[in-house]
A = this chain, B = another copy of it.
Amino acid sequence: MGTARVVFDRWDGTYAERMASVRSSAVRDLFGAATRPDVISFAGGMPDVSKVPGDAVARAAREAVRDHAATALQYGSSEGRPGLRRIFVELMAESGIRSKPDDVIVTAGAQQALDLVAKVFLDPGDVVITEGPTYLGALQAFSAYQPRIVCVPMDAAGMRVDALEEELERLGPRGAKFIYTIPNFQNPAGVTLSPERRRRLVELSRRYEVPVVEDDPYGRLRFEGGHCKPLKALDEDVIYLGTLSKIFAPGLRLGWVCAPRPILQKLLLAKQAADLCGSEFSQAVAERYFAGSRWRRVLASLTEAYAQRRDTMLSALAEHLPPEVAYTRPQGGFFVWVELPSFIDTKPLLAEAVERGVAYVPGDAFYPDGRGRNCMRLAFCYAEPEDIREGVRRLAEVFEDRLELYRAFQEAGCQV
């Protein structure tokens, strides 16, 4: 399915207009290559589940069906299990967010929450503001509802709120449906929104009456620096998305959305229409897993491993890539964003990279409009340190010829 095959489509012309704007996910398309044993993958943001204790999951499953036989295999409420929603409230409290279980709906990963938010707010042509680059799954979820996506640039301190203000001023009050942001260790840029800009962002949200959608999958995976309060802790009207995919396991597809009640009621209707309710079984397993304290030790060991991999990747990038190549230095999370000279297009070079045994995601996947062609996202979360070093070496080989050419051009005084 992943590879394009030419099939005569007699339904051509009968699909909804939205399907013209829904692109395939570059990460999903790379899923095959990314899981090939001979390819070192910096492509997907796949957590290292080898550190998640299978025995704890098996025990949680056994206890779930034993102690909750009547509910764990049955349909559940669309909001999700009360016990799991309490756990989400506690997780948020540890980050500084005050909420109640009734402020939360369990979703199939944060991705479903993105889909539901878009479904609830977006008519065709509505404006959504995102960081540029931004999470490609968000672009995919939003684009199914045919919005106009406006990207605000970032620097090392995250979204440039001065540029955001200009955009909001241009659009006028309620001129956008929401501002989508990943403030911690942004996907794909790896940068973190500074505390000052967080305060400014929620002020702008209030002034221009445009709600903020805060996506926080990586907030607990900090390697260094102090914890930054989530936007939701600064403004209770923020729509906050959380997930267990990075602190437990993506294979259970569990996330949540915490939002003001009126919005939550709309999201609940959209959730019912989408899948009736989440998996009670997955939810009961997660309830058990988070009931103890072992998950904290697992998370600590995950964070330590990711920190080491980031260090390895940054030092390998410094060693193998020439100074013309810029890249970010994330304080947590999964990703480094690499910017190559503007004449390099990372998309056609990907096939060559996979051929050489390394995969990345081309930068244009993270923009709605074809920008980012000279960029790429590297995920350091999945590969072991020795593979990261080798992978960056292979990556450098891919670009070496082109970069030498670039240098020759520059030395000859040419403009690229």
Contacts and interface: CB of A to CB of B under 8 A. Distances in A.
A49 B31 contact: no
A142 to B, nearest CB: 9
A149 interface: no
A122 interface: yes
Nearest to A382: B74
Contact of A274 (B10, B57, B112, B122): B112
A212 B29 CA distance: 29
Nearest to A260: B11
Contact of A140 (B55, B273, B282): B273
A140 B271 CA distance: 10
Interface stretch (A150-158, A246-254, A328-336, A395-403): A246-254
A1 B140 contact: no
Interface stretch (A15-23, A160-168, A316-324, A355-363): A15-23
A144 B273 contact: yes
A121 interface: yes
Nearest to A176: B14
Contacts of A278: 253
A134 interface: no
A141 to B, nearest CB: 5
Contacts of A263: 11
Contact of A115 (B18, B46, B47, B273): B273
Contacts of A115: 273-275
A75 interface: yes
Copies in the complex: 2
A272 B24 contact: yes
Given A62-B58, A141-B274, A276-B109, A211 B11 contact: yes
Contacts of A7: 261-262, 265
Contacts of A18: 119, 123
A70 interface: yes
Interface string A3-17: 001011111101111
A279 interface: yes
A39 interface: no
Interface in A205-234: 211
A25 interface: yes
11 contacts: A11-B263, A22-B273, A49-B74, A61-B285, A73-B250, A73-B252, A253-B275, A253-B277, A279-B279, A281-B282, A282-B282
Interface of A: 1-2, 5, 7-12, 14-19, 22-25, 28, 31, 44, 46-47, 49-50, 52, 54-55, 57-58, 61-62, 65-66, 69-79, 102, 108-109, 111-112, 115, 119-123, 126, 137, 140-141, 143-145, 174, 177, 211, 245, 249-253, 260-266, 268-270, 272-282, 284-285
Given A28-B77, A76-B251, 20 more contacts: A5-B261, A7-B261, A9-B262, A16-B120, A22-B273, A25-B78, A25-B272, A28-B78, A46-B74, A50-B70, A54-B66, A58-B66, A61-B62, A72-B251, A75-B245, A115-B273, A140-B273, A143-B273, A144-B273, A282-B282
